[in-house]
Structure 1
Amino acid sequence: MTEAPTRRVHWAWWVAGVSFISLLGAAGFRAAPSVLIDPLHAEFGWSHGTISSAVSVNLVLYGVISPFAAALMERLGMRKVVAFALTLVAAGAGLTVLMTASWQLILFWGIFVGVGTGSMAMAFVATVTSRWFVKRRGLVSGILTAAGATGQLIFLPVVASMSTTIGWRAASLVIAGVALLVVPIVLIFLRDHPRDVGTTAYGAEVDEDPPAPTTGAARRAVTVLFSAMRSGTFWLLAGGFAICGASTNGLVGTHFVPAAHDHGLPVTTAASLLALVGIFDVAGTIFSGWLTDRIDPRWLLGAYYSLRGLSLLILPQLLAPSVEPPVWAFIIFYGLDWVATVPPTVALCRDKFGMSGPIVFGWVFASHQLGAAFAASAAGITRDTTGSYDLAWYGAGLLCMIAALLSLAIRRKGKVSLTV
């Protein structure tokens, strides 16, 4: 009697696990801005607009670096790029505690952390899923996207508590330490391509080679951009995702805590509510990935943006000095919708642009962060000039309705031929 062979876990799942941990490590400092606005304002006297400008630089670089990082991963490999990115995040977080002027906030918080986190942003997710998965690609996209929400869930209450008890500097050092701890895990366990371990992508019968890097990473990223720009699909995806960024990272992620505090809610309570968004975001994003494997991504995007817009339009009437049931309903609903847009957007980029999809998605994600940066600054200026965030909530809600229409206008069939 022969013994049945032992089934081994496919290498793709190990890569997905390490990628999740890496994204989790980078998420820590991205959770900090919303709870550090008031402490920085109190200590240095910087206006909400000044502090928000540093957040805007961070958000722009977080997106703009993404396509170049995707191209660099083609040339140098994911492992080297991600390890360097985490080190840069740790440096930015650690050096922030030494700043004495607002330009240093922009340098450390905006540039260092923006470049570091942008180098392992959603284009990293697209690269991992494109190289390592054929089956379950949407589900894995959802799980990896949820890493950012999980990081927010873990770090946001910690950062808020530490910033109000022992100071924001201690919170920044904790985040720097966590990012550094992830670096050796990446160097030991992350693999760049299935062929590196003698296997194929999960669910693939034969391995699909990535495009050979015939040019430098920067040149390839720009070439892919100009080629993709000739497609209407690219502009529809980029326009919708710009609004996505404006209505999430730029507005809610940056300004929900100070906006709730304006209505009398304690900062720690508001931060805990934003962390709860992260809890439901994990479930919503993973479920969205599961749905993406089964339902037309265009219809999913149309539904997500429409429902998000409705929730933002009613938010100003819900904020109060205490947490009432309608606010709980908003937190649950908004959390489920927060980054549920990522898996269907990644799927559309892959379906339409093939193996260049991760770089195309990097540029689409860059538009997401440009929208976020605009909203972060605009909302801060709105608060400084009107004394309220209400106009920002209403504007974002209406923009989400436009994003729904853009998504539904995408043609589902046919690939875009890129000259790269």
Structure 2
Amino acid sequence: MKSTITFRSGYLTAMLLMMVSILSLLFVSCSDDDEEFSGNPYFSIEDGPTGLTAGVEGSTVSYVVRSNRPWQIVAQEDNGWVRAFPSEGSEDGTFKFIVNENETFDARTMNFSFIVNGAEQPVLFRVEQAANVPYINLPGAQTGAEVLAAGGDVTIDVDANVAWTYELDDDATWLTQLELSATKIRLRAEKNSGADRSATVTIQSTEHPELDKTIVITQLPGNIILREDFSWLAYGNEKPYNTTGETRFDTWTQDEINHGWYSTPVAASSNQPLLYARQGFVKLGKTGFGGDLISPRLNIEGTANIRVTFKAAAYISAGGAIDDKLLKISALGAGTTSISQLTIENVPNSEAQDNAGVVNNIWAAERAYSFTVTGATSDTQIKFLGGDYNLTGVGQGKNRIFIDDINIEIIE
């Protein structure tokens, strides 16, 4: 029996066209593969580095790859301190070696191989890192720490990479520990009713006795109730006429606010407090408006007469223009000041004077101002105001004042 299969001419044509299309695609795919990885495999890193030496602090270094094949970067051992990123790529590209800080006291080395098109390259890449060095650092140890006669807390920051303990002088019974951690010691000083006193804190390491460090804590005598040098402020420029970077009171950090100083919002200046932090001193006011500085409430038992000593300087522009120099003084809460205002004749250098090397230390001790307050109590606050809050139509309309080193002592 014969079987007969009959194709329609249209169907046969369609089948032939489909086969031609598939063959064409296969041919193109093969051609693309050949083009993608044509020629002999090669791999190189620009400038030909074969290693990296990193410091204790670690580093990140970028490299450029030239290749015509897929490649991988493989560490010869498992480790947690250096890695390549990305660790693989194809053809030309970039990668980084990322080296972490070395917190150990041992130098370390790691080799990396490059796998190109499945084959390991003959030259390894060597990463070396220096060993860390044991240390104990006490920021502020040279100047020491100071606490008021009224007592208070003292924090000693400790920067160390070794185990440590601390000791106090045997007679430092007026200091007690509040907190101890790997990075700080916090002590509390009792009230001091007599002369000034001091204690030495020794931070020591049993394993590394050569690293021992000391810091001296000094408590002011019983009559000193406030001493402020604003060393905890570090904004802007130390040159008085350069206002770039100075920071207004309402943008201070909470830690800075916690020091207890205050400034009144000025209604005529959108309720902004016009007190500005600089490099260890403050500035009152801006063009057209005065600003004030108000102290914390004073630590006084009963009623006392006090002396306020401070340093102040008038504002001068870079070009030499000097503001009005009026500083108003008052006591809030309780007490009467011996003066109500001062003319601040202490004027900083202009930019030209600075460039000429003119010596002019506006913070010299002999340039300090002082006044007294009778009838001060624990409600008393001292207020300094540059001219007035609204200076429209007042003098030059500018009355900026710099203030630093405020000291308040009981005199009777």
Give me the TM-score of the superposition, normalised by structure 2.
Answer: 0.23
Identify, as 1 or 2, the structure richer in helix: 1
Give me the TM-score of the superposition, normalised by structure 1.
Answer: 0.23
If you compute each CA radius of gyration, which structure gives the higher value, 1 or 2?
2
Q: Which has the higher contact order (CA 8 A, sep 6+)?
A: 1
